[in-house]
Amino acid sequence: MSLNISKYYLENSRNRVLAKFMSSDEYFEVKIPSDTAEGQAIQARIVEVLEVREYPVRDVFAVRLALEEALVNAIKHGNGMSLDKDVDIKYWISDERVRIEIQDQGEGFDRTHVPDPTLLENLERPCGRGIMLMGAFMNLIEYNEQGNKVTLEKIKGVAPEQPEAEVQGDEEEE
Amino acid sequence: MAAGHRRVDIEEVSDVTVAKFIDKKILDEGNIQIIGTQLFGLVDEDGRKKIILDFSNVEYLSSAALGKLITLDKKVKKAKGKLKLCSIRPDIYEVFAITRLNQLFDITETQEAALEGF
């Protein structure tokens, strides 16, 4: 197991990696440049571990979606795609839950200033939808005070608390 | 991935254009750009007014992709055309529902139902 993982990261020699194992849990720290392709590789790695640990399909979908949104936010909006800025990713995976921290080198943002993307006047604006989706699919989404680090958590097999009526209620009115 | 590579299959059913996504995942920024260009071209260059987007193959979709769909909808409406989305699997539909975009878009279960509606 550890051999495979070492090999994976050796192949990504640009990534500075610290790998630790605590009993059967997996913990990683990895630093990637502000390149979405690098983000995709990490995403694939985490998804693979979840599948090996038999996380339900729905959890894998949720984590993949949240990771995509968080990494794109960090790389594009946080670091402005600047290749001399890195994104720090830490993740812990056990059989019960997955926790991911993603930190960029940007100035951060104030979450309360992100417009509500569901309001009619904002429907066509591109911002805010990613954060909303992360919140809806993960059990936890938390930003640090500066707003340049997001923590995401998904508990295996446990649906996030949602305003279910809104999600399920497929109203037909305009 | 070659630039300009087609990411959407286009088919004409009488006067309706059916655009079917080829990719399982519409996540990657590069793919999304290509998809956007291809779809916008249907309206801006080809002047097509009745468009169905078929999501049968799509298993993952990010908010960046939603942004492109919103812009497409805007373009179609401006051209006095009609855009319909169909064959969206439940996980993906939830993405539309959470963001309330299920109220912006005309979504049908099957391509047949979408075609009938025109």
Domain B8-116 bears CATH identifier 3.30.750.24: yes
**Alpha carbon distance A130, A136 (integer Å):** 10
* Residue B3 phi, psi dihedral angles, 5° rounding: -65, 140
User: Mean pLDDT across the stretch A54-83?
Assistant: 94
**Alpha carbon distance A75, A71 (integer Å):** 6
| pLDDT confidence of residue A127 | 74
| pLDDT confidence of residue A93 | 95
The pLDDT tens digits of the residues spanning B45-99 come to 999 999 999 999 999 999 989 999 999 999 999 999 999 999 999 999 999 999 9
Neighbours of A106 (CB within 10 A): 21
Are the Cβ atoms of A40 and B104 closer than 8 angstroms? no
Q: Classify residue A132: in a domain, yes or no.
A: yes
A61 touches B at CB < 8 Å: yes
- How many domains does chain A fold into? 1
The pLDDT tens digits of the residues spanning A101-140 come to 999 999 998 888 888 888 877 877 767 899 999 999 999 9
| pLDDT confidence of residue A101 | 97
| pLDDT confidence of residue A26 | 87
**Alpha carbon distance A99, A154 (integer Å):** 7
| pLDDT confidence of residue A29 | 93
Q: Are A9 and A18 in contact (CB under 8 A)?
A: no
Over 60: is that where the pLDDT of A9 sits? no
CATH code for the domain of A149? 3.30.565.10
Over 50: is that where the pLDDT of A18 sits? no
Q: Classify residue A109: in a domain, yes or no.
A: yes
Position with higher pLDDT, A36 vs B13: B13
Kindly write down the DSSP assignment for every residue of A66-99, as one continuous string.
HHHHHHHIIIIIISTT-TTSEEEEEEEE-SSEEE
Q: By residue range, what is the domain housing residue A78?
A: 2-158
Over 90: is that where the pLDDT of A166 sits? no
| pLDDT confidence of residue B5 | 67
Q: Classify residue A88: in a domain, yes or no.
A: yes
Q: Classify residue A62: in a domain, yes or no.
A: yes
Percentage of chain A exceeding pLDDT 70: 78
Beta bridge partners of B100: none
Residues 6+ apart with CB under 8 A from A122: A115, A116, A128
Residue B62 corresponds to which amino acid?
S
Q: Where are the beta strands (DSSP E) in chain B?
A: 8-13, 16-21, 25-26, 50-54, 60-61, 82-86, 106-108
The mean predicted confidence, pLDDT, of chain A is: 82
3-state helix, strand, coil in chain B (%, to 5): 45, 25, 30
| pLDDT confidence of residue A14 | 39
Interface test with B, best of A65, A67, A138, A167 (most B CBs within 10 A): A65
pLDDT classification of A170: cutoffs 50, 70, 90:
very low
Counting one residue from A and one from B, how many pairs have CB atoms under 8 Å apart?
63
Over 80: is that where the pLDDT of A68 sits? yes
A62: exposed, middle or buried (C-beta count within 10 Å: 0-12, 13-18, 19+)?
Answer: buried
pLDDT classification of A168: cutoffs 50, 70, 90:
very low
What residues of B are in contact with residue A168 (Cβ under 8 Å)? 97
Strands B16-21 and B8-13: antiparallel
The pLDDT tens digits of the residues spanning B8-30 come to 999 999 999 999 999 998 887 77
Are the Cβ atoms of B100 and A72 closer than 8 angstroms? no
3-state secondary structure of A102: strand
Q: Are B96 and B73 in contact (CB under 8 A)?
A: no
Are the Cβ atoms of A130 and B62 closer than 8 angstroms? yes
